[in-house]
Amino acid sequence: MKTGDKIKYFRELRGLNKKELGIKLGYSPSTATVRISQYEYNKKKPKLETLSKIAEVLNIDISALVDINISTNIEFMRALFKMEEKYNLKTEKDGADFILRFSNLVEKNKQLQNYFVAWLDKQEQLDLGACSKKEYELWCAKFPDVAEVKKAQLAEKEKELEIQIEKIQEELERQTALLKAVKNKYSEV
């Protein structure tokens, strides 16, 4: 998907027409539609400053508008090879499914692990119907929304703390039972 296609896609997700987007960018009402059409039909590429303003108006990260260029299977495989090299990506086969696994991600890149946790959390919300497909796509376009990433990190820490509390409670119960047994043994003597 080219930059112009992405501008159109996110403009429509935000419920804006071309004129509205153009006016929010500072174009006159008489030229707003034409200017946005030039970008969306990829006849004119917006300068970085304009692209930044478009992302700001659409409330998304500018990187969501940049052409990543993974449009062929070969480009996709090259991206995977790069991830294998940089992030220790491993592949596995499970029946007809292929599984991509990032080994030792915590040790290599804690921030990326936090991004995965936030992404997994949002995917679960989508799967459970807690957010719509549109909300999910806008979340992806705005990523990394620092507040969302922090929220996912806190949820993960909360799970870790709950496990630790359970272990402490089990140990406390074990110690209490042991103390009670010792106390009973000495009270018999």
- Is the pLDDT at 94 greater than 70? The verdict is yes
pTM of the model: 0.62
What are residue 99's DSSP bridge partners?
92
Element housing 24 (H / E): helix 18-24
Contact between 23 and 32 under an 8 Å Cβ cutoff? The reply is yes
Contact between 89 and 99 under an 8 Å Cβ cutoff? The reply is no
Name the pLDDT band for 69 (thresholds 50, 70, 90): confident
What is the per-residue pLDDT for 183? 85
Cis? peptide before 144, omega within 30° of 0: yes
Average pLDDT, the chain: 88
Contact between 43 and 2 under an 8 Å Cβ cutoff? The reply is no
- pLDDT per position as a tens digit, 153-187: 677 778 888 888 999 999 999 999 988 888 888 87
In three-state secondary structure terms, 79 is: helix
Give the C-alpha separation, 33 to 21, whole Å.
8
What are residue 92's DSSP bridge partners?
99
Percent of the chain with pLDDT over 90: 51
Between 142 and 28, the more confident residue is 28
- pLDDT per position as a tens digit, 123-148: 999 999 999 999 999 898 888 776 66
Give the C-alpha separation, 19 to 7, whole Å.
13
Give the C-alpha separation, 189 to 146, whole Å.
64
What is the per-residue pLDDT for 189? 64
What is the per-residue pLDDT for 70? 81
| Tally of residues, the chain | 189
What is the per-residue pLDDT for 106? 63
Give the up-direction half-sphere exposure of residue 50: CA atoms within 13 A in the CB hemisphere: 16
